Structure formats: C-alpha cells, structure tokens
Amino acid sequence: NAGVTQTPKFQVLKTGQSMTLQCAQDMNHEYMSWYRQDPGMGLRLIHYSVGAGITDQGEVPNGYNVSRSTTEDFPLRLLSAAPSQTSVYFCASSPAGGETQYFGPGTRLLVL
Amino acid sequence: QKEVEQDPGPLSVPEGAIVSLNCTYSNSAFQYFMWYRQYSRKGPELLMYTYSSGNKEDGRFTAQVDKSSKYISLFIRDSQPSDSATYLCAMQGSGTYKYIFGTGTRLKVLA
C-alpha cells in the first residue's frame, strides 16, 4: 500500500513550458485535491475532484488544468509555466466524507 | 482578513515543555477542525481531528475547539525534539470538501 505518490519530486521549467505533475493513490479514495504551498501563504487549494469524471476549482485555479479519468489518478497540468508558479505542490486524497486527508510527498517546481 | 489566522512562529521551547499552538477563524460555518504536522521537505500528516466544540486527547496531544470564540488549540505535553516540525491547522465546513489551512507554526524543541 503506497498511499499517495507524486512524480516528479523536483522539476525545473522555463517560462512558457508546459508540464504535468502526476498524482496517484491506491486507497480507493473518492476525493483528491491539489494544493500549492508557498512561504507565508500556507496550503492553498488549486483544484479538487469528488470522483472520476468530476472536478472543480479551488482557491487558486488559474494557469492549471486537471482531469480525473480514473479513481486512482489525478494529474495537474501547467499550461504555460510562469515564475509565479514556483512552489511546492501537494496532492491529497480522502475517502468519501473527506474527514482525513492523506498527502503525498510533494513536487518542488522551479520556473525560471 | 484571512479566514484562518495562525501565528507563524518560530516557537522554540526546551525539551519537556508544554507547547500551545493556536488558530483563530472568522467563518462560523466551519464544523471540522484538524491539526497537521509537517516535517521539513515532507507532506503534511494528520495529527488530530475534531468535530464541533470540545476536547480530544491522543497521547501527549490534546486538541481544543471553542466555537463561541472561533478559536482552536493544540497542546503538546512533554515535548520532544522529534516534535520539531511545522504545525498546520485546517478547517472544513459541513457539506463541503474544501479545507482552509492556516499558514503553519514552526516549532523547535531544544534537547
């Protein structure tokens, strides 16, 4: 049981490049979400999903896309990277009811 | 004004001390209150979960919620150097999946 896994662990992008951050969970959780964590800002919700085929925007969705084709996977796409997207990105999952979130180890992204 | 306010610290205490970590909030719709612990360069992990007002104890950790004052606390007794981490409070309204996190308090327990 691996829990929540994220790849890559670290990535450097140039402004304007696109990339996909991968997230997978093997706990059969219905809810999955993406957060970014910045100094002094805490964790901010980017997008979330309450089940396969269902996604919705969080607090800071601009510049990011998500899709949820399976229960296990919830990739986050950066369409055109900007320096303001330099951050640490965390994926989380929780069972229906959403009481306990389980976080992945994070992806550190640097946009030059 | 942020929905959730948390003193960023850092907070340094000697080993064995009682630590008090606090958050205030403005949204009276919050029903679920959580404390997460985050070690450096790791993902947050759930420490305590409380529904509505009251106290909850788990080993050396006690979570308190005072909804009338919109104030939550986490107490750590007999603090250990291994407790050195950032502690994040989080809150959730009933019927919503969205969690609102505090900015986190950095705690350092000195041996």
What residues have CB less than 8 Å from A57, skipping those under 6 apart? A47
HSE-up of residue A112 (Cα within 13 Å, Cβ side): 4
What are A26's two structure tokens? 């093997």
Shortest distance between the Cα of B110 and any Cα of chain A, in A, equals 23
Residues of chain A found within 8 Å of residue B3, distances taken between Cβ atoms: none
Mean pLDDT over residues B7-21, rounded? 93
CA nearest B89 in A: which residue? A42
- B43–A31 CB contact, under 8 Å: no
pLDDT(B83) > 90: yes
- Length of chain A measured in residues: 112
What are B38's two structure tokens? 């985050």
pLDDT(B107) > 90: yes
pLDDT at A55: 95
- In this complex, the residue of B6, B32, B45 whose CB is nearest that of residue A99 is B32
Shortest distance between the Cα of B84 and any Cα of chain A, in A, equals 18
* Higher per-residue confidence, B89 vs B97: B89
- In this complex, the residue of B32, B88, B97 whose CB is nearest that of residue A43 is B88
CA nearest A41 in B: which residue? B103
pLDDT at B36: 96
pLDDT at B86: 95
pLDDT class for B47, splitting at 50, 70, 90? very high
Mean pLDDT over residues B49-54, rounded? 85
Residues of chain A found within 8 Å of residue B90, distances taken between Cβ atoms: 43
- A106–B101 CB contact, under 8 Å: no
- pLDDT per residue rounded down to tens, chain A (112 residues): 779 999 999 999 999 999 999 999 999 999 999 999 998 888 999 999 999 999 999 989 999 999 999 999 999 999 999 999 999 999 999 987 667 889 999 999 999 9
Give per-residue burial for A51-62: e unless 16+ CB within 10 Å, then b: ebeebeebebbe
Q: Around Cβ A22, how many Cβ atoms within 10 Å?
A: 15
Place of tokens 């910045």: A38
